[in-house]
Copies of this chain bind each other. A is one copy, B any other.
């Protein structure tokens, strides 16, 4: 079997992302710690973020709006204007911070790009993702870049159909079982899970009965692809 294309998730697959959220969230918890216990702040922020996803989508702007709402609610409106301004400034900082690639990413993409069309498939805020892709310096390695609202089986099916890629010859690589593995398996594609050291609670799933491959880091990918095409690997 010869792969027709390889797809890559971006955040926490090609570059670090979750730590920036975690750091900001920690500052947020410190800011509110004189009003409420940290556990409650964390829990309520997560609830408000989840509720807001359908209105605000993924990304920094929605995250900032959720922090503001959480702060207003948990302080009974006592949060100050200056503190809310700080929350917005933290968001702006996140949007401006440099993109730090994970180890092996550049080498691996350069070597695979010679043999396969590479797709970047990422969900989130359009501007946010586009500027990260630009700052990453990796844009030219991808044949197609797809920024989507949500990674559902339909979304993947649509992308593959548009580029004439048969799902059974498509391999998706990413850190999220929920977004990168399960929906691709659902349409008959192949998927490699490369866990990142932390996973946002929202992306955590427990997939029963779904088979997929797992690597410990992206440096193992070229060797894996080679063995996969020669029929030498078994699904986990």
Contact = CB atoms under 8 A, between A and B. Distances in A.
Interface stretch (A19-27, A68-76, A195-203, A204-212): A68-76
Interface string A201-235: 00000000000000000000000000000000000
A165 interface: no
A68 B69 CA distance: 12
Interface stretch (A79-87, A104-112, A179-187): A79-87
Q: How large is the interface on A (under 10, 10 to 19, 20 to 34, 35 or more residues)?
A: 20 to 34
Interface stretch (A39-47, A59-67, A167-175): A59-67
A9 to B, nearest CB: 16
Contacts of A127: 56-57, 149
Contacts of A77: 80-82, 85
A56 B82 CA distance: 20
Nearest to A64: B65
A113 to B, nearest CB: 19
State the majority secondary structure of interface residues on A. Answer: helix
- Copies of this subunit: 2
Contacts of A149: 126-127, 130
A101 interface: no
Nearest to A123: B126
Contacts of A61: 56, 61-62, 65
Contact of A72 (B84, B95, B96): B84
Given A69-B88, A84-B84, 10 more contacts: A55-B92, A55-B96, A56-B127, A57-B128, A61-B61, A61-B65, A72-B82, A77-B82, A126-B148, A126-B149
14 contacts: A55-B96, A57-B126, A64-B65, A68-B84, A69-B85, A71-B81, A72-B82, A72-B85, A76-B81, A77-B80, A77-B85, A125-B126, A126-B148, A130-B149
